[in-house]
Structure 1
């Protein structure tokens, strides 16, 4: 292709270029289809083997034989692995982190954990594998996340996306690749869930689109019928159909995962360029959606939730020091208010809120944002008690 483009008009004609491009496209499609089929078959095989493994473990746990159980044999095999070679020891990238313990509420105080992280959002999803003696061994974090999949202490993550329900561009494409790095044994693949979510969005938009405006600015009343949506004006049919597939700013959809590193549930929050403005308020759609997401976390046992503190996943030119401090203060105060509100009817259980700032933030800015947190949240200070014949009690 490069040779043809460099010699077009002399050695190759436009027709030759078109034929070459068509052949290249057909070959690419053929190869992509082949490997997609191979990966699909591999996933189904792994799911079947996982199901058989679960049955085997359950059967061994029910028998009272003197022979070692299946799990014990696996532990013996893992303990017999050789030590990792020097070149196999991978240093994990360090990330800035600060942790706090806070109290919320006046009379009925609840204790929560607050953590400030500076890392890439996908680092919370991506597994860090390493090899020992040539054998790929996952990190212990993967086992911990898998064991808590059906527990009452789930982990959630808020990811900012655009208003298109696909995995073709930007952060959504990178997240899709992370999900495809290993087989999900409990949930369907991402494309299948997007298809189901799209159907639910159509129903949701039909419910909330009670009134729309046509091209002339006239208000058109929409009513639901047995066959779908009908409008009083035929000129608005295309607009209504388009609106049914549209994601608005502040909408979010949820996907569940069993093959991510530190996350079970991902809230895909739709945000537009308005979040880059320095004067958004607590009534912004993204802020209001944080309230709804925290409400779901309190309702459905999601005890750890990661929130992008600056409502962005990357640093840009307009994110100056005053901009970052103002945005961090806004999100801090709003999240504090939402948690106090939810605790009035939720269980008095400890939660962990992780505020995530983009990688690339300077250490000075990170410390400034960290120092702001104690001024907004009430920290839990330890009580120091000294006992002795010549000592007094002090706090």
Structure 2
């Protein structure tokens, strides 16, 4: 792998002086169940002849493609699992798809979404096309939001875009190209969360917060006004001491900014908070979304309001990538070096035994949780969905062993995962604004 490609692969797949960390140990009544797993990604070709032609022409490099994110859509009694496979190099024929119930050599086949035509001619930036889908999120208005990052082989072939699909019709609702005014020369949009302020007027009152992992900023998109602006703060930068990763015997170095982002529940009378962290860091941070939505604060200077950002004093002992928060305000996130999944009650103290716990611990199946989502199923119960990608192999320049299981999508009922842990116990009120909990 040449140095240029390695740099791209690392960023694409990271897709991703500390106080001691104390977790309460808990063996869940129900472990995360494996829903899908792959040794290599396979796609839904219309014929064997077409598949082989793509392989012979270099359009499909079997065994080199890694997934980045997933989400699940429930409609009635059916469910659809979406998955992204960013184009970190040539040979990735499909970059956004749905997992079918068919397999090839035991590997679930991924069908292109919304159709094959959206994935052809990626270098030509077609209007109805997807260049490289990185992160996705399904909101409560049955919309699929997609960050289409644009770069291929470390070259910006297409502009970074935000795409929105109506999941009831699979039609495109929105295509928004981020202007140069909010992008830096090294911007890489690696995460997003969708904030539906209210569902009136076809859910037009919606904001999207996008993490720029290379530009060390948050980009805010206002759907109603169809415009965006930048917000920056020192809390969005990586920590040099956390740039070296050791995961399951693989070591690599990367200085990634914001990857993990999540929102507290949207409850009347309670201000909503955006939690976030740089992946190459030990800290967790938050900011009230009402500040982010106020463009006038940042119009002349993205760094204009350092006082609105909060960083917990307590820290992790290892890096973390994606995170998600359920409707009870409980956060779920991976511990990369420890190869575990933790929970945190956001009404409590971060990394404290009274509000933090380990809920999943498996050194094989939990390697590099890239995608973390909370979904509500058809029975109204919440589920935790996690995609693990073993991205450390690509980041360290090591090829995947196609004789092993490399990628998994897992899920579990959140109530069963956190029942009996400190994450579920009620926390004292008034902790959020206690200045002793945060760094100055």
Answer yes or no: same fold by TM over 0.5.
no
Which one has the bigger strand percentage? 2
Q: TM-score, normalised by structure 1?
A: 0.26
Structure possessing the higher radius of gyration over alpha carbons: 1
Q: TM-score, normalised by structure 2?
A: 0.24
Query: Of the two structures, which has the highest relative contact order with CA contacts closer than 8 Å and spacing of 6 or more?
Result: 1
Which one has the bigger helix percentage? 1
